[in-house]
Amino acid sequence: MTSRRREVIIIGGGFAGLAAAVDLAEQGIPVRLLERRSFAGGRAYSFRDKFTGDSIDNGQHLMMGCYHNTLHFLDKIGSGHLLRIQDSPRVDFLYEREGRSSFTCPSLPAPLHLLAGLARLGTISWRDRINALRVGIALRNLNGNRDDLANITVRQWLDSLGQSDRIQRRFWDVVALATLNERPEIASADMFARVLDQAFMHRKTDSTMVISKVGLSELYVDAARAFVESLGGSVQLNADVTRLEFSSNRCSAMHLRNGDVIEPEMVISAVPYFALRRMIDPRLRRSSPSLGTLDQFSSAPIISINLWYRQTVTDLEFAGLIDSRIEWVFNKNMIAGSPVKRPQHLALVCSGAHDAVRLTKDDLIRLAIGEMNRFFPAAGKQSPIHAYVLRETEATLSHGVGMAQLRPGCGTEFRNFYLAGDWTATGLPATIEGAVMSGQLAARQVLAES
């Protein structure tokens, strides 16, 4: 006679929570996921625009071929076919007066393909291209040990490697902002080195761009929920956990906004650090070895400005804007496989938006239109017919200097309480890949102790 397996309650229905739920349910563990809102998806969800009917992501997410855990998760729940994956790495950059330049990597083994790609980037000098070798050599010499980089910024590290202001502005800064959601003057070099190592130092396919052809909710939320429920688990919406109690080295009670109290057997918290912080008594939080750093974290914002144009503005799938307060423009029609659909829906992204987040909605729209007119001649000949602005003020953990040492692992001193989320110590920045990995790590530890 087999013993009953303990139920695992997961708090939070984003990538981390759903990844943990999928892995546990697959192994026959009873799972109950609690999501505070009326829909799951965490900080990576989508919805329909009432004016156009188009799908809008709460922030355009660009993934890469090195997101191995995410790609495996999506394949497992049956959503892998909804991704557009480049055959070879390519990113187009736009310059106001110099037009377009493309970073394309030839069929060479990594990391030679990176260096060859930079050699083809016509907007940087040959000296800059040669000096870029120093970054590759530095990554090789690190041999996986990035501890010395945790206490300096991306800018300081690149300066020490002889990277000119021009190549930093025109390549390295773009990569840093896109992957860390933080300015190079703030972000720590250890996470940036990890990004470069994962993307460019192993397989060529790791450098390819991966983007969802559908809204984020359609990509993974419904499929993951169906996967969990098909195996006997449950996903409860409008289940807002407001307070956690701990006693005898256990999470002893979970209080919900509707008045319910749950006495859990096992718990995985898969919510952002700021949400978990609100659930735990400050005195306990400050004295806890695993939760004591929660008060030291801060966030970096992302702003997404969606514009619709009656006539086609660009035939590019996505492009980085150089020397602009808008870093990326995504052609949602082309991404969805409908390039001739009218009107044209463009999603503009401003990462690490500490200054722009203070602007009004109208000011952000004016900023976006002004930048579109600067970089796309066809935009200056017309006005958008619709605009929608999204602010994620706490989009990601701010990867400041010294932050890596503060991020907790998935285990805690409470023997039935585990942590997941892109802010935990995954060794990765706060990305979709970090979130998925954290959920899988927490599930693995629960399974080891079940």
Range 8-44+215-297+407-448: architecture per CATH:
3-Layer(bba) Sandwich (3.50)
**Residue 110 pLDDT:** 62
Fold match, 8-44+215-297+407-448 / 299-396:
no
444 sits in the region (left: phi over 0; alpha: psi -120 to 50; else beta) called alpha
Pick the CATH number of 299-396 from 3.90.1150.10, 3.90.660.10, 3.40.50.80, 3.30.70.920: 3.90.660.10
pLDDT of residue 111: 62
Question: pLDDT tens, 237-284?
Answer: 999 999 999 999 999 999 999 999 999 999 999 999 999 999 999 999
pLDDT reading at 307 higher than 90: yes
CATH number of 103-205: 1.10.405
Task: Give one DSSP letter per residue of 61-104, joined into a string.
Answer: --EETT-HHHHHHHHHTT-GGGEEE-SS-EEEEEETTTEEEEEE
pLDDT at 112: 63
In this structure, how many other beta carbons lie within 10 angstroms of the beta carbon of residue 34?
24
Residues 145-178, buried b or exposed e (16+ Cβ, 10 A)?
Answer: ebeebbebbbbbbbeebebbeebbebbbbbbbbb
Q: Give the domain ranges of the chain.
A: 8-44+215-297+407-448, 103-205, 299-396
Q: What's the pLDDT score for residue 1?
A: 39
CA distance 115 to 248: 56
For a pLDDT cut of 70, what percent of the chain falls above it? 96
Task: Note the pLDDT of residue 282.
Answer: 94
Q: What is the mean pLDDT of the chain?
A: 92
Q: Is the pLDDT of residue 151 over 50?
A: yes
Q: What's the predicted TM-score (pTM) here?
A: 0.94
Place of tokens 């958008």: 384
How is residue 400 annotated by DSSP? B
Tens-place pLDDT, residues 152-183: 999 999 999 999 999 999 889 988 999 999 99
Give the model's pLDDT for residue 409.
Answer: 95
| pLDDT mean over 63-69 | 94
* pLDDT band of 118, cuts 50, 70, 90: confident
Q: Could you give the C-alpha distances from 360 to 364, 365, 396, in angstroms and in order?
A: 6, 9, 21
pLDDT band, residue 321 (cuts 50/70/90):
very high
Q: With contact defined as beta carbons under 8 Å apart, do 403 and 194 qualify?
A: no
